[in-house]
Amino acid sequence: MKKLVFVFILFSTVAFSQNINNYKAVIIPLKYDFLKSENQYRLATLTKLNLQKAGFVAFYSNEDIPSEYKDRCSLLTVDVKKESGFLMTKLAVVFNDCFGKLVFQSEMGKSKLKEYESAYSEALNDAFRSINALNYKYELSQLPIQQVTQVIPVAVVNSPISSSATVVQDSPNTNAELLYAQATPTGYQLVDASPKVIFKLNKTSSPTFFTASKGSIQGVFIQKDNEWFFEYYENEKLFSELVRVKF
């Protein structure tokens, strides 16, 4: 006897390109980790000016992004890293993709100036020399595509689902206790009432999408229909865990 079952099949194309020319635009955070306030020493402004000079389309993280740039995986996120140095300011510019994976890091920019704003400006401009040398020009290419799931009716004859299919399942966490978000330098940590850290979230260019970890499990934390889900792979199956959280 044939049984009609519904199988959630995940169609996912992942092509991790390391070519910076494959990305349409760059998102700039207003504050880097080594700074105390947003756009301190005008470094966010200077980053945008340098990116535009190098040929990139650039947006601040708080800007409304045009619809043609809404695909987060077609965008890079820029960061500036400071390295300690004796009597010298050292800065490097880092580009990460939508999964937080490094795409490009500049050479270390340096300055021996003593005044902070002048030193940071000179070091950042120096770091952008290696970025300018890339001669960036956007080229359409296959980038990581957002996962799409479809419900497809499949007729089977008393047989298990093919091992080649990836099955989306819900982890049994619908009655989980409420977690509370605590801000961190890179995002949030979600704690229970004890308080014990349950999840660690890292920001991306989208306010409804975080890279996430739960202990040793790596995944993503996303908002769908006003609810939050932790999604991760285990044994080639995608699990989607409903999480109750108060930000």
Chain segment 89-106, per-residue pLDDT in tens? 999 999 998 888 899 999
The distance from CA 191 to its chain's CA centroid, rounded to whole angstroms, is 22
- 41 and 118 together in one domain: yes
- 118 and 181 together in one domain: no
User: Is 112:136 a contact under the CB 8 Å cutoff?
Assistant: no
pLDDT bracket for residue 163 (50, 70, 90)? very low
- 108 and 172 together in one domain: no
Helices and strands counted in the chain (H then E): 2, 17
Determine the average pLDDT of the residues in 177-189.
Answer: 88
The residues facing 191 across adjacent strands are: 180, 197
pLDDT of 162 over the 70 cut: no
Q: Is 85 inside a domain boundary? A: yes
By residue range, what is the domain housing residue 206? 167-246
Gap between the Cα atoms of 196 and 198, Å rounded? 6
Largest CA distance in the chain: 82
Domain termination site, one of 132, 158, 191: 132
- 102 and 197 together in one domain: no
Helix segments in 22-176, DSSP class H? 43-53, 116-132
Domain termination site, one of 81, 106, 132: 132
Q: Is 162 inside a domain boundary? A: no
- 46 and 97 together in one domain: yes
Structurally, how many domains does the chain consist of?
2
Q: Is 147 inside a domain boundary? A: no
Q: Is 4 inside a domain boundary? A: no
Helix (H) or strand (E) holding 30: none
- Which residue from 210, 246, 208, 243 is spatially nearest to 228, judged by alpha carbons? 243
82 vs 88, 112, 164, CA distance in Å?
A: 11, 14, 46
Q: Is 228 inside a domain boundary? A: yes
Determine the average pLDDT of the residues in 136-150.
Answer: 59
- 125 and 61 together in one domain: yes
- 178 and 240 together in one domain: yes
**Would the pTM count as exceeding 0.75?**
no
Percentage of the chain beyond pLDDT 70 is 78
Helices 43-53 and 116-132: crossing angle, nearest 10°? 20
User: Is 245:181 a contact under the CB 8 Å cutoff?
Assistant: yes
- 50 and 102 together in one domain: yes
What CATH number should be reported for the domain holding residue 28? 3.40.50
pLDDT bracket for residue 4 (50, 70, 90)? very low
User: Is 181:188 a contact under the CB 8 Å cutoff?
Assistant: yes
Q: What is the pLDDT of residues 12-64, one digit of tens each?
A: 333 333 589 999 999 999 999 999 999 999 999 999 999 999 999 999 999 88
Q: What does DSSP say about strands 109-111 and 148-156: parallel, antiparallel, or unpaired? A: unpaired
Gap between the Cα atoms of 205 and 187, Å rounded? 11
Domain termination site, one of 109, 132, 155: 132
